[in-house]
């Protein structure tokens, strides 16, 4: 779901200028704007609340599928991909968070969730990956879920991990 690879600029995504606490949001698939009101503001705020300065790319399934095949060897779309910015100095400068509209919409519908809330969750999830969080082990996954829930609460988004 979230590979830690170099920035996808080589795959046709524009490079971003480094620095700043606010994320840059690029809407490459304009259907995002029809699906989620004020989508740029929501994505930027979610990334900022999670401490993930960088670029949020709102794209479509085809572009994400191409990135997923190129960087992960999985020739299918996925909901979110993250790409750390390689600074060479070990310092955090953020990175890119790329989301696939069709996949995000299908997942939200299947889970009975609001698409805007699911988008905010995935941006937070990606930003936490860029900050070094992971969910491969059970304890790490639980800590990451708890951090996601805290951040989403600040955004006014219901906890996606409530299993009721």
Averaged pLDDT for residues 97-116: 96
Averaged pLDDT for residues 80-104: 81
Q: What pLDDT does residue 123 have? A: 96
Q: Over 60: is that where the pLDDT of 1 sits?
A: no
Q: How many CB atoms lie within 10 A of CB 157?
A: 23
Range with the poorest average pLDDT among 13-17, 28-32, 69-73: 13-17
pTM: 0.82
Q: What is the pLDDT of residues 35-59, one digit of tens each?
A: 999 999 999 999 999 987 689 999 9
Contact status, residue 21 vs residue 109, Cβ threshold 8 Å: no
Q: What pLDDT does residue 139 have? A: 84
Which domains can be identified in the chain, with CATH numbers?
8-155 (3.40.390.30)
pLDDT confidence bin for 97, thresholds 50/70/90: very high
| Residue 13, both tokens | 């995504």
Comparing 98 with 95, which gets the higher pLDDT?
A: 98
Question: Above pLDDT 90, what percent of the chain?
Answer: 63
Given its phi and psi angles, is residue 132 left (phi above 0), alpha (psi -120 to 50 degrees) or beta? left
**Chain centre to alpha carbon of residue 58:** 9
Contact status, residue 71 vs residue 147, Cβ threshold 8 Å: no
158: CB partners within 8 A, 6+ apart: 117, 152
Per-residue H/E/C for 88-155: CCCCCCCEEEEEEHHHHHHHHHHHCCCHHHHHHHHHHHHHHHHCCCCCCCHHHHHHHHHHHHHHHHHH
| Residue 145, both tokens | 């879920």
């Amino acid at each position: 779901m979230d590979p830690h690879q170099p920035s996808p600029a080589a795959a046709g995504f524009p490079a971003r200028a480094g620095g700043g606490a606010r994320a840059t949001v690029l809407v490459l698939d304009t259907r995002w704007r029809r699906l989620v009101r004020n989508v740029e503001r929501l994505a930027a705020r979610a990334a900022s609340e999670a401490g993930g300065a960088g670029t949020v790319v709102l794209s479509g399934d085809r572009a994400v599928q191409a990135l997923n095949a190129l960087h992960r060897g999985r020739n299918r779309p996925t909901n979110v991909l993250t790409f750390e910015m390689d600074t060479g100095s070990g310092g955090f400068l953020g990175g890119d968070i790329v989301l696939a509209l069709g996949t995000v919409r299908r997942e939200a519908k299947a889970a009975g969730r609001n698409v805007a809330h699911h988008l905010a969750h995935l941006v937070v999830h990606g930003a936490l990956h860029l900050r070094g969080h992971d969910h491969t082990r059970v304890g790490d996954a639980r800590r990451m879920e708890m951090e996601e829930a805290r951040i989403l609460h600040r955004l006014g988004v219901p906890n996606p991990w409530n299993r009721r």
